[in-house]
Structure 1
Amino acid sequence: MNITSDEIINQICHKITANKNNILSTYHSSKSNIGYFFIDDLLPNDLAKACFSVFPDKNDMRCLKTIREHKYVSAQMNNHNPLLEKVIYAFQDDKVVKLIGDICGIETLYADQSLYAGGLSLMANHNFLNPHLDNSHDAKRERWRVLNLLYYVTPNWELKNGGHLELWPNGPKKNPIVIESKFNRLVVMATHDGSWHSVNKVNSELEARCCISNYYFSPLPLKETDKFHVTKYRGRPEETLKNIILDADAKLRMLLRKVFKKGIRKNPHIYKNKEES
């Protein structure tokens, strides 16, 4: 599709500005628990559909399959259609970052060109993501992870298909808030020591739920109570045994990080440019 990065950036800025009053209200009314807002019809429909049409097949992505999650991911954007790279980095433009920072009341925000844990994700039939807290920091453990941006591009995605974002403001033992993964919807959510979230199981054999994601980081955490932590998973309310296993898993990985500050191995989910490859 013949479109420039500036055109995509301008469209995102226009939509955020046009919806500013509504999303300000949504974010600040939810801020005491898990702050979030969403914007529908973010990009022109033909552009959003083009993103879906060039989205990589799951066989061209890395499969993550454990008791914690089952999904397909990729951060190596130069392996995929250039349009996807334009869109993902449009969210990292200074103008977009500042607009979102103003809405969320975060003075200093940094986008992440390495796409650490961001990039592309695909969830096919029976894929899921258990309730979890995101890793508190960036790959170098220098900045706090504070916002998660999720842009959904699968046309005609319905509630019955599953694969929707769930926020657990009272922890994963209570009922979640379900935010549909609607086509052409951008969701922005806060990440801190209480922002439990998940994706419910996909129930569609026809299409996959495709998402373009970014994280924003800051020198300071969103909450004064935040402390460093690894990604923590939990079972769903009905998954008692799984919850015990995942709790033990999180404690073990946290213990290892106390010894190995930056982890035992380098996280492979980053965008390696030509100089790094």
Structure 2
Amino acid sequence: MKNISTKEITDFIYRSIVAHKDELSLAYENSKKEIGYFYVDNVLPNELAKLCFKVFPKKEDMRCLNSIREYKYVSAQMDKHNPLLEKIIYAFQEDKIVELIGRICGIDTLNADKSLYAGGLSLMAKKNFLNPHLDNSHDAERERWRVFNLLFYVTPNWELNDGGHLELWPNGPKNEPIIIESKFNRLVVMATHETSWHSVNKVESESGLRCCISNYYFSPYPLKETDKFHVTKYRGRPEEIFKNIILDADAQLRMILRKIFKKGIRKNPHIYKDKEIS
């Protein structure tokens, strides 16, 4: 498994998804009026998925994001980590996988992002969290719309009471979320648009690490005709009234700044700087 090729990994992913294509299409169709999503388990052979976890970088080798918005560890600089992880992440970007996801969701204009803008690796430990938010609507150059988020979880034996699970808020962050467990060897595909609020609840595990490999797919067109450009917007949870006020003001201020500086005041550091973009 250590010397496996990206093509072999791609074939594993393709076979796992295509075997459930009809039911995944139905799941997406039934949810797309709010936040379209589906998930599929056992995406890779268990031995390979366990190896991903084994070689996942340590917290010390990742960038820590710690604020009232979020607390987690991330990295997009894949050449600093075990080569297997780079093969996995780019297998999800192979044309046959992108086209398959597009067929499931009824979209034929999807393309992947070799720069891993806001994608890559994420790790969450005890007390880590991600508040309800909307992803930035565009890519780094504001040329393409961000339309799908792919999350592949690789922590073995991760249970519901461990926390660190994906939450979708189809009726907004003041209501109850849909919880999608961050189960081992599970791929979650979710739509990103102007109302696709999502979050990760607090990790409760005393010693476990929730590890995730993520990609974004982009398109020349938004998923909803009403979509407009927006920066990443955070909100408080229903019980976090004061925090919600602060985060709302923060989002409004950053939106004003982006109207003045269209590509931002500084370049987003979460990008694969050395990867050749084609």
Q: Say whether the 8 Å CA contact 2:114–2:275 is kept in structure 1.
A: no
**Structure-1 separation of matches of 2:259 and 2:170:** 28
1:50-61 matched pairs, under 5 angstroms: 50-61=51-62
SS of aligned partner of 2:123: strand
The gaps in structure 2 that reach 5 residues or longer are: none
Aligned-residue offset at 1:68: 0.2
| Partner of residue 254, structure 2 | 253
- Cα 1:236/1:90, change in 2 over 3 Å: same
Aligned amino acid, residue 116 of structure 1: Y
**Structure-2 separation of matches of 1:17 and 1:67:** 40
| Partner of residue 197, structure 1 | 198
2:188 counterpart of 1:187: yes
Q: Say whether the 8 Å CA contact 2:115–2:275 is kept in structure 1.
A: no
**Structure-2 separation of matches of 1:196 and 1:275:** 32
| Partner of residue 74, structure 1 | 75
SS of aligned partner of 2:150: strand
| Partner of residue 103, structure 1 | 104
Aligned-residue offset at 1:2: 2.0
| Partner of residue 136, structure 2 | 135
Aligned-residue offset at 1:275: 7.5
Aligned-residue offset at 1:205: 1.7
| Partner of residue 24, structure 1 | 25
**Structure-2 separation of matches of 1:23 and 1:102:** 10
Aligned-residue offset at 1:252: 0.1
2:212 counterpart of 1:228: no
Aligned amino acid, residue 112 of structure 2: A
SS of aligned partner of 2:139: coil
**Structure-2 separation of matches of 1:213 and 1:274:** 16
Q: Say whether the 8 Å CA contact 2:74–2:122 is kept in structure 1.
A: yes
SS of aligned partner of 1:244: helix
Q: Say whether the 8 Å CA contact 2:168–2:198 is kept in structure 1.
A: yes
Aligned-residue offset at 1:274: 6.8
| Partner of residue 273, structure 2 | 272
Q: Say whether the 8 Å CA contact 2:119–2:214 is kept in structure 1.
A: yes
Query: Any idea what the Cα deviations from partners look like across 1:35-76, whole Å, max 9, x if unmatched?
Result: 000000000000000000000001100000000000000000
Aligned-residue offset at 1:151: 0.0
The gaps in structure 1 that reach 5 residues or longer are: none
Aligned amino acid, residue 203 of structure 2: V
SS of aligned partner of 2:10: helix
Aligned amino acid, residue 238 of structure 1: E
Q: Say whether the 8 Å CA contact 2:10–2:91 is kept in structure 1.
A: yes
Kindly report structure 1 stretches of 4+ aligned residues shifted beyond 6 Å: none
| Partner of residue 37, structure 1 | 38
SS of aligned partner of 1:147: strand
Aligned amino acid, residue 7 of structure 1: E
Q: Say whether the 8 Å CA contact 2:75–2:120 is kept in structure 1.
A: yes
Query: Any idea what the Cα deviations from partners look like across 1:133-188, whole Å, max 9, x if unmatched?
Result: 00000000000000000000000000000000000000000000000000000000
**Structure-2 separation of matches of 1:62 and 1:36:** 28
**Structure-2 separation of matches of 1:173 and 1:2:** 47
SS of aligned partner of 1:121: strand
TM-score by length of 2: 0.98
| Partner of residue 91, structure 1 | 92
Aligned amino acid, residue 173 of structure 2: P
| Partner of residue 117, structure 2 | 116
**Structure-1 separation of matches of 2:120 and 2:93:** 12
- Cα 1:87/1:257, change in 2 over 3 Å: same
Query: Any idea what the Cα deviations from partners look like across 1:8-56, whole Å, max 9, x if unmatched?
Result: 0001111111011111111100010000000000000000000000000
**Structure-1 separation of matches of 2:176 and 2:187:** 23
**Structure-1 separation of matches of 2:221 and 2:23:** 26
SS of aligned partner of 2:243: helix
**Structure-1 separation of matches of 2:37 and 2:211:** 20
Q: Say whether the 8 Å CA contact 2:35–2:195 is kept in structure 1.
A: yes
**Structure-2 separation of matches of 1:72 and 1:228:** 27
